[in-house]
Amino acid sequence: MRRNFVVFVLVLCIAGMAISETVYTKRKSNYVREGPGSYYDLIAVVPENTALEVLGKSPGWIKVKAPKKDGWLAENCISAAKMKGASTVPIENIWASPKASRAGISAAIKGFAEKHGKTDPGNVDLILKNSTGKFTDAEFSAFKAELHKSAPGRESPVSLKDLNLGTVEYNAGIPEQEVGLGIAARLAGKGLLNNAGLVQYANLICATIAEKSTAYDWDFTVLIVDDKAMNGFAVPGGYIFLTLGALRLCSDESELAGMIAHEMAHVIRGHGLQEMSKRIANIKSDAAFAELDEEVGEKSPEEADLEELMQQTYEKIVSPRLLSYELEADRIAAVLCATAGYDPSGLARISGKMARIPREKPDIYDPGYMAADDLGERAKTIDAFVKEEFAGFQAARMPERYAQRTASLR
């Protein structure tokens, strides 16, 4: 009898192994990538309530079966249950559509950016080129290992939940990637630094910070503007711009990490999208956000309004920042840095340096970027926050690696 019971249990176990797990996508757009990380190339984008068969798992990611090429999807994009009242889309139908492919998605985003962003198509291509192939998995692993060796294993005493940030509210109909690319291309038109090693370094820091955050599956891209002014910008869609002057102001990697994390915080909290939403009432119809590849002969009133909205957003990015956004981004950045293993006081130090710089005649990258009083208030506030919340917390500063990686700037 006992032998029969054992055989029965064994049969059940084998049968259970044969039964595959099915999950359902829950975001409006869900990114399937070649590997378990946001830095891997995009394979396809699938809509909400898509049924996917799970093939394997990695921390924060699941491997899913697809008709043409299996890929990886972030766990925070999926649900175990199908959405009520929604029809499941067969994965075969999605993969058969050119709009789901990497090429189709890029073409749609590019077409929208060129049409509405008032930018040279070459600058759009430049941004897209810099958004892929930033580094390999081996390079990323080695980069993180060196960081963790410098300051091993202390958990941040503060998490993002402790900040009680509240819900982010903005118009969900805004095509973030498309609008962001159009604005990023305009900023790139002012001149990007041609230094692959330095750009890769900044993106490795960004990916290290993102991986330990709730935005671990977001596709951030850091670009460096060839300008001596000391500024940074965050664009919807995850594009982060730092000026060459800003990098030269840093003394170690934790200060650069603080600057990058600050701009990441603007994207995570949707500050740009919040500002766009306040202006979206000027758009007469949602028709402006219809099919991105639809060809229209003459510009409709909706399209004209959309272009005006993008123009206003561009001007807002390079205009005086709202102090409330800056203070919130600073607090988030300090937590992001500490969680990733960086010294959060790096942000306080670089903010103090910025506040002490005499404000020269503004240009396109500094039209009153922040008033001197606001810069001083920001530096004082983040310094107090770090001293209170991270007292005794020790983490990596990495001045040696920073000096090595930025030697070309000297």
**171-199 residue pLDDT tens:** 666 677 777 888 888 888 889 998 999 99
How far apart CA 166 and CA 196 sit, in angstroms, is: 38
Residue 238: name the closest of 31, 22, 383 by CA: 31
Phi and psi of 315, rounded to 5°? -65, -35
Q: Strand 61-64 vs strand 21-25: parallel, antiparallel, or unpaired?
A: unpaired
Q: Which of 265-274, 306-315, 381-390 has the highest mean pLDDT?
A: 381-390
CATH number for the region 21-100 comes to: 2.30.30.40
pLDDT tens across 24-74, in order? 888 877 888 889 988 888 777 888 888 888 999 999 999 998 777 788 999
For the chain, helix, strand, coil in percent to 5 are: 50, 15, 35
* Domain locations along the chain: 21-100, 107-409
Give the span between the Cα atoms of 205 and 295, in whole angstroms: 40
Q: What pLDDT score was predicted for residue 284?
A: 42
Residue 376's alpha-carbon distances to 263, 358, 371, 399, in angstroms, are: 18, 12, 9, 25
pTM attached to this predicted model: 0.82
CA 152, 262, 159, 175 dihedral sign is negative
Contact status, residue 344 vs residue 334, Cβ threshold 8 Å: yes
Q: Helices marked H in 189-251 — which ranges?
A: 196-211, 244-249
Q: Which residues contact 402 (CB under 8 A, 6 or more apart)?
A: 250, 251, 252, 253, 256
- Separation between Cα atoms, residue 242 and residue 369, nearest integer Å: 13
pLDDT at residue 34, as a whole number: 87
pLDDT score recorded for residue 4: 54
pLDDT at 292: 36
Distance set, CA 155 to CA 142, 199, 373 (Å):
21, 28, 34
More confident residue, 108 or 254: 254
**For residue 297, what are the contacts with CB-CB under 8 A and spacing of at least 6?**
none
199 with 304: CB under 8 angstroms? no
Residue 219 pLDDT more than 90?
A: no
- At 99, which amino acid appears? K
Q: In what order do the strands lie in the sheet with 239-243?
A: 221-225, 239-243, 232-235
Q: If pLDDT is split at 50, 70 and 90, which confidence band does 7 have?
A: very low
Report the percentage of the chain scoring pLDDT > 70.
Answer: 70
Average pLDDT value over all residues in the chain: 79
Q: How confident is the model at residue 8 (pLDDT cuts 50, 70, 90)?
A: very low
What is d(CA 137, CA 56) in angstroms, rounded to the nearest whole number? 18
**How would you write 105-168 as a 3-class SS string?**
HHHHHHHHHHHHCCCCHHHHHHHHHHCCCCCCHHHHHHHHHHHHHHCCCCCCCCCHHHHCCCCC
Checking if the pLDDT of 236 tops 60, the result is: yes
Lowest mean pLDDT among 188-202, 210-224, 347-361: 347-361
| Backbone angles phi and psi of 362, in degrees to 5 | -70, 155
Lowest pLDDT segment from 2-11, 38-47, 124-133: 2-11
Using N-to-C axis directions, what is the helix angle for 372-389 and 323-340, rounded to 10°?
Answer: 40
**Is 260 in a helix, a strand, or coil?**
helix
Which of 130-144, 311-325, 335-349 comes out lowest in average pLDDT? Answer: 311-325
- The torsion of the CA quartet 309, 314, 317, 320, rounded to 10 degrees, works out to -80
Q: What is the percent of the chain with per-residue pLDDT over 90, rounded to a whole number?
A: 37
Range with the lowest mean pLDDT among 80-89, 155-164, 185-194?
80-89
Instruction: Look at 2 and 54; give whichever has higher pLDDT.
Output: 54
Provide the Cα torsion 303, 305, 307, 310; round to 10°: -130
Q: List, in order, residues 6 or more apart from 382 with CB less than 8 Å away.
A: 327, 330, 331, 334, 347, 348, 351
Pairing of strands 78-79, 42-47: unpaired
Given this model, what pLDDT does residue 286 score?
43
